[in-house]
Structure 1
Amino acid sequence: MTDTIVSAEAEAPTTPRMNMIQAINSAMDVMMERDPNVVVMGEDVGFFGGVFRATAGLQAKYGKTRVFDTPINECGIIGVAVGMGAYGLRPVPEIQFADYIYPGMDQLISEAARLRYRSAGEFTAPITVRSPFGGGIFGGQTHSQSPEAIFTHVAGLKTVIPSTPYDAKGLLIAAIEDNDPVIFFEPKRIYNGPFSGHYDRPVQPWSKHPASEVPAGHYRVELGKAKIVRPGAGLTILAYGTMVHVALSVVEEQGIDAEVIDLRTLLPLDIDTVAASVEKTGRCLIVHEATRTSGFGAELSAQVQERCFYALEAPVERVTGFDTPYPHSLEWAYFPGPVRIREAIKKIMKD
């Protein structure tokens, strides 16, 4: 699927190379410059620039009233953001790690997600909750979780996960401009560059990777649109975030005729692109880092079965994280990696 550039500014000749952190920073910078109602808030996002430096330089440029630090209170951060959104602002709160988002769940589910419906459209919650998620930094149980499936269960929320700097900037701009609440999870394992399934085997640094070419100005990548990142005819692989790169590394190393789809937005899900691919290939593999039971892969599998049952030549397979607390020293065994993905592909292709 080809992206549509929504803003003419994106056609400007300046196309710098950025890693994902820089692209996310650029998205907030562009939106704050365009719209005085955009504000950034969260723990250490101001003077310090965020724990991963995603907000570096924004407070110095836009001032302490538009980029400000908050107490360590996720419920308060999101609750205040909901009120700001109802008042007419477009807040972009950062939750320092996705593992810390749970105290704010009531505000997200009971308030943000329902505000438009409860007020019959009189109020909206145009907030974009940014948060790093997933493993890759040896953060252990409290800095490595992948809770995306929880939010896809909530009507009224949109859930977005980019896999490249280009998509990160375009999707974040689209999320900030959206009038409904968006959960924007950032895969911190690839903040600075994509990796294969091995800790010591980078695919390419972002500085040399084609996906690092990011327009300097304003552009949007439409929410709810998946992207075919590698065409193929023998197998469909569905992934998002870091796992897009892991899946690509496997099929390219093994010469597998697989079509790899980056979902980009989990909700709303681009089921039409998914179904068209599975109808063509007859086989489907789902790869995600989160735990297996009730993970988003279960929903994907159900929808593929409903839409493509008569086209399937083999059962839908999933390669996921394990149903255990997130391990610290064993996190690279926990990740879905090349060995498990290759085994799943062999099983699918054998049937």
Structure 2
Amino acid sequence: MAARRKVILLGATGSIGTNALRVIERHPDRLELVAVVARSRFAETAAIARKFVVPHVGLYEPQNPPVRDALPPSCTFHSGTDAVTAMIESVEADVVLVASAGTSALRPTLAAIARGRTIALANKEILVLAGRFVTDAARRHGVRIVPVDSEHNAIFQCLDAGARTGVRRLVLTASGGAFRDLPVDQLADVTPEQALAHPNWSMGPKITIDSATMANKGLELIEARWLFDVAPERLDVVIHPQSIVHSMVEYLDGSMLAQLSPPSMTFAIQHALLYPERAEGVVAGLDLTRTIDLQFRPLEEGRYPCLQLAREALAAGGTCTAVFNAANEVAVEAFLAGRIGFLEIPRIIRKSMDRAAVREPGSLEEVLDVESDTRRWVAQSIVR
């Protein structure tokens, strides 16, 4: 049997990280966890290190408590993004699973690419903010990026199974979120608690709100443009309430390939970590001896303005996608805190995009400056 793949896990304590640990625990003969990184949850991260006997632990946000007693004796602690990036450059690994949310994982990911590690990518912001820089680096270093988002992983599998030529469009499926069947005229009064009640998936609060507004699908369209090198007009979205068909590829002759599995992130994570190999899964697959209802319907006009705004940002290109992402993040935080209403989220994104001077960035730092400026402006606007 081949040697175990050495895995670095960025974002160990989030929902993707937790499911990744289930996959790694399921396949101890195939996968070895050599480093775990989280934003700030040291106690949880240390517990993971003890359970999996991990030699390296990192936190993006610097901490200097007396941590040695909480870690395995042979474990090295790395505090701050610079230290995490240096750790990725020095620790031997085969694949880096990027499950951290936000921009903190951007430089560590670029460092992993520079070292030639396979990237299993579950972070939306990295490609939304810096898609050109990340994909150019991957091409230069001959690095494969395997998507972990269920929709992109489904397209990756479909393209892997079929021809890469003759593709008409990529179709991302969307559950529709918590309010897919709520009358549009009632959306103004919905609460964060209602928005967090996703009908199919168990996810973190930010992505669950993004599902309700469909901003997440807009981010996924932007990601797909970079992951699969396709023009925006060849990317579509369809509502699929069951979340069993995760995405589809349509060919010029009208044929379609689709990937199906129950709504559990373990399927996509395991595929990315073991690719191109297959193994028994963590969760049972579909039971085709029972009736399975698969429904599809078009997007209802006016229900999901965030998705249309994402399409506009994608068409504008340059720094506009960074503006969309930053404005959405700050607006979602404000909604969760009860400071703005649900329908204020797309209004804030629209105002942010209207004020932005869109340009093609010459450097990664320029993109990050635009993102920071948008965050400050939105935060000040909400305070006023």
TM more than 0.5: no
**Which is bigger in relative contact order (C-alpha 8 A, separation at least 6)?**
1
Q: TM-score, normalised by structure 1?
A: 0.39
State TM-score, norm by structure 2. Answer: 0.37
